[in-house]
Each structure stands twice: as structure tokens, then as C-alpha cells.
Structure 1
């Protein structure tokens, strides 16, 4: 394999490994964001459940309409927050999955380039071996001709 081809493939491999490493960092960040979003969703949902339980217990005692209105208003905003955070968590999960797929593709490119380099090196080794064998055969043939000419 020529030096130029080797240099080109090495450069491509370096670039592909850099892209793979960047994809791995993106996956790590996306995973952390997805985990944080899911955790926050879980905390909000737990708070909503606690809030509903506390007010259910409180309604066993008489309450004014304004307090009931506040409860309902806050409950609606809390439900919206839980729903919104659920959407955020879903989007974060989707980004994580896309990042995982990008990393998989980058790893495949690196593996393909390594395999190509190995195949090219093996081909170059075969060519060099054939060249060496041919030179050895020519040397042996000349030596035989020289012996025959001197004999």
C-alpha cells in the first residue's frame, strides 16, 4: 500500500475516531439530561400525589369556596407542570436514542475503516511477498544459468 494511501486512510480513521468520540460525549450528555428529566418528572408526579392526598384529608373538614378554588387552580397548574415535564422527559429520551444511534453509526464507520486498512495492509504484504519471491526465483535462475555457463 502506498504511503499516500496509508496516510489518507489514517487521516480518515483519525477523523472517524474523533467523530465517534464526539458522539460518545453527546450520548453521555443526552443520557444525563434524560435521566434528570425523568427524575424531575417523577418528583413532580410524587408531589402532585402528596398534594392530592393532603387536600383529600383536608376536605374532610369544612373549607371555604376560595380555598377550594385555590386548591383546584394550583392542582391544574401542577397537572400542567407534570404533563409538560413528561413531554420534556420523552423528548430527552428521544434525543438519547438518536445520540445512541449516531454513536453506533460512528463506531461502524471506525470498524469499517480499520477493516479496510487491515485488508489493504494484507494486500500490500502479499504483493511484497510475491515481489520478494519473484526476485528470489530470478536470483536462483541466474545462479543456475551462471553455473551452467561455467560448467
Structure 2
């Protein structure tokens, strides 16, 4: 394998490794965002449940219509916030899956380039070994001819 072909493959490998590293960082960031979104969704859902329990206890006592209206209004906004955060968490999970797939593809490219470089180096080594063997055989044949010519 020529030096320029080797250099080209090595440059391609370095670029693929750089892309793989960037994909790994992106996956890490996407995982952190997904975890944060799921955590926030869980916290909001937990708060909504506590709020409903607290107001259920409050309604066992006397409550005015204004208080009931406030409870319902806030409860609806809280439900909307929980639903919205659920969508945010779902989208974050999807981004994490896409980032994981991108990393997997980048790792496959790196592995393929490494394998190609190794195969090309092995081929070059075989060619060099055959060349050396031919040179050694020619040298031995010439030496034998010289010995037989002098004898």
C-alpha cells in the first residue's frame, strides 16, 4: 500500500474517530436531558397527586365556590404542565435514541476503517515478503550459477 493511500486512510480514520467522539458527547448530553425531563415530569406528576389529595381533604370540610373554582383552575393548569412535560420527556427520549443510533453508526465506521487499514497493511506486508523472497531466491540462484560456472 502506498504511503499516500495509508495517509488518506489514517486521515479518514482520525476524522471518523472525531465524529464518533462528537456523537458520544451528543449521546451523553441527550441522556442527561432525557433524564432531567423524566425527573421533572415525575416531580410534576407527584406534586399533582399531592395537590389533589390535599384538596380532597380540604373539600371534606366546607369550601366556598371561589376556592373550588381556584382549585379547578390550578388543577387544569397543573394537568397541562404534567402533559406538556410528558411530551418534552418523550421527545428527549427520542433524541436520546437517535443519538445512540448515531454513535453506533460512527463506531461502525471507525471499526470498518480500522479493519480496512489492517487488511491493507497485511496485503502490503505480503507483497513486501514476496518481493524479499524473490530477491533472496534470485540471489541464491545467481550464487549457485557462479559456483557452478567456477567449478
The TM tier, using the shorter chain, reads: over 0.9
What's the C-alpha RMSD, in Å, of the aligned pairs? 0.3
User: Counterpart of 1:142?
Assistant: 142
Asked if 1:122 is matched to 2:122, the reply is yes
* Unaligned segments of structure 2, at least 5 residues: none
Whole-angstrom CA distance in 1 between matches of 2:13 and 2:44: 46
> Where do residues 1-151 of structure 1 align in structure 2 (5 Å cutoff)?
1-151=1-151
After superposition, the C-alpha distances for 1:3-29 in whole angstroms (9 at most, x for unaligned) are 001100000000000000000000000
Q: How many angstroms apart in 1 are the aligned matches of 2:135 and 2:24?
A: 49
C-alpha deviation, 1:31, in angstroms: 0.2
C-alpha distance after superposition, 1:102-123 (max 9, x if no partner): 0000000000000000000000
Unpaired segments ≥5 residues, structure 1: none
CA distance in 1, matches of 2:87, 2:15: 36
- List structure 1 runs of 4+ shifted beyond 4 angstroms: none
